[in-house]
Structure 1
């Protein structure tokens, strides 16, 4: 009991009440959404609520993971988020149809994951932002050339680097939020507040764009890529997410106009991340990137929007606040 008490007291929920209030709000919304869809399904069995239920269930998984990860010690949090990158990269490389001869280069791509997260952990910002875009970009082609198989080498170079950028570089910014120094004005909620702000807005934007699209959607944006995406859903989601971001700005050190603009950008880039992965899956002829989450696809299917919103929001905050 003593150890449990010490663990509970260490949680930032109890030293940062703003975070506690938002976490409780998120779980309340999830419970309410789950109840509404359950009752709705029983009252109207013919209603097609499967996708809404699937998105809500996925959101449960995402929220539980990120709330748990951000409240634990950094020695646990960083490996936990690195594990997400590992699984996402593995899912992506498994559907990109690499050559058998690429396995040795892929080994070094996997080695880049702990290195990238270690750089975030020790707060080496300059090397963190160039390790994969510069050093791995230069190293991977050399390793592929040494193998000696030139047929298809351009595709392997491009695919491997793009997969690293998306699943490792992009997602690793989620971890670096927790390494940001807190000795600046209006940063009382620290990196946990920023991470919660980003994840909540990214996920709620996905849900709101879907709901607005179902209610009002008539004009498709990318019918050949994602037929369910409509301009009405896109605009409705952006407006709703921006408004929510305004009211959650206390989680960040940003000024009001900065929080509004950041929320708007999160909504837009989240949409871009979603349709980019939709295009990739259509090109490869797969429905999901994996089966990591039974009934809900792979980890990357749930993180596709975050792969875009995380680096964009991180560098906006870094530029404005630090």
Structure 2
């Protein structure tokens, strides 16, 4: 939070929220509010709270950021698993996931133990989960139940954890500024969601997958995506990219965010639900707000690392890992 450019970014978002609040409140007072306008006002008010929480986590430093995303993963996974009843035989498996797999994964990320961060969930945890369920003795729909838990762990914990891991990317000439890169990813992805929603409401006529998400239209994706890409390109000065690379990275975030949201909507529909929860007025649940980040975060992390020729294994060796864990213990 001592980085002036990061403060400029936060100030810009606050200014946009102030303008959006004034517009929505004025429209609601001057005319009979429509359901769309009421939903828009709820969304703007919710964004104030989300911005406050996100900014507070940045103010607390790396540990605050990792703690914040640990909580988000917990809430997102809880919403995911709540939509589908879990038989008694899987209760101990869920305890393993929530109280061992999740905290250990974020501990490896915070340390940072990059090698273990990469394989803890897709290798070790994916082995432990079916073993624990098999020991429960319930074979009814065993594969379906196990795959559902594994998918929830992969998306809500593993994919989401790539966002705070951006703080550890070793970027020459950009040391100590990685919080801006995290802010860039979240900002572009979320603005893309907002722009697609707005343009879809104004001009949307051709749904892309009507049975999955009727509100996602070609017009919303194209015009909203172009607007978000333009905003991301204009913020190149806050990133380690030149304008052309910032445009390409923004387009990647737009596409990955759209596809992530579409896939999670398909999962939602298969479970017979419209929203993942009701925790955020106007948005649904926590996972409804995070779905576009689930695919965008890991893709951006690895593409960015490849483009900038970073080496996480070399930058964050095992000795640093144990030093950080020892410091935490002390």
Indicate whether the TM-score tops 0.5.
Answer: yes
Q: Which residue of 2 aligns with 1:201?
A: 188
Q: Which residue of 2 aligns with 1:310?
A: 297
* Contact 1:213–1:228, Cα closer than 8 Å, also in 2: yes
Q: Which residue of 1 aligns with 2:160?
A: 171
* Contact 2:264–2:291, Cα closer than 8 Å, also in 1: yes
Cα distance in 1 for residues equivalent to 2:112 and 2:239: 19
* Contact 1:254–1:320, Cα closer than 8 Å, also in 2: no
The answer to whether 1:231 aligns with 2:226 is: no
The answer to whether 1:274 aligns with 2:286 is: no
SS at match of 2:160: helix
Q: TM-score, normalised by structure 2?
A: 0.88
Q: Unaligned regions of 5+ residues in structure 2, if any?
A: 311-330
Summarize the alignment of residues 225-304 of structure 1 with structure 2, pairs less than 5 Å apart.
225-293=212-280, 296-304=283-291
The answer to whether 1:125 aligns with 2:147 is: no
Q: CA deviation at 1:300?
A: 1.0
Question: Could you give the per-residue CA deviations for residues 123-156 of structure 1, whole angstroms, max 9, x where no partner exists?
Answer: 2112212211111112211211222211111011
* Contact 1:102–1:144, Cα closer than 8 Å, also in 2: yes
Summarize the alignment of residues 45-84 of structure 1 with structure 2, pairs less than 5 Å apart.
45-47=32-34, 48-84=36-72
Cα distance in 2 for residues equivalent to 1:302 and 1:314: 20
Cα distance in 2 for residues equivalent to 1:240 and 1:153: 45
* Contact 1:270–1:308, Cα closer than 8 Å, also in 2: yes
Question: Could you give the per-residue CA deviations for residues 92-138 of structure 1, whole angstroms, max 9, x where no partner exists?
Answer: 11112222210111111112111111111112112212211111112
Q: Count how many residue pairs are aligned between Structure 1 and Structure 2.
A: 307
Aligned-pair Cα RMSD in Å: 1.7
Cα distance in 2 for residues equivalent to 1:165 and 1:34: 36
Cα distance in 1 for residues equivalent to 2:226 and 2:137: 52
> Which is bigger in relative contact order (C-alpha 8 A, separation at least 6)?
2
* Contact 1:189–1:252, Cα closer than 8 Å, also in 2: no
Cα distance in 1 for residues equivalent to 2:109 and 2:89: 31
Cα distance in 1 for residues equivalent to 2:55 and 2:196: 23
Q: Which residue of 2 aligns with 1:3?
A: none
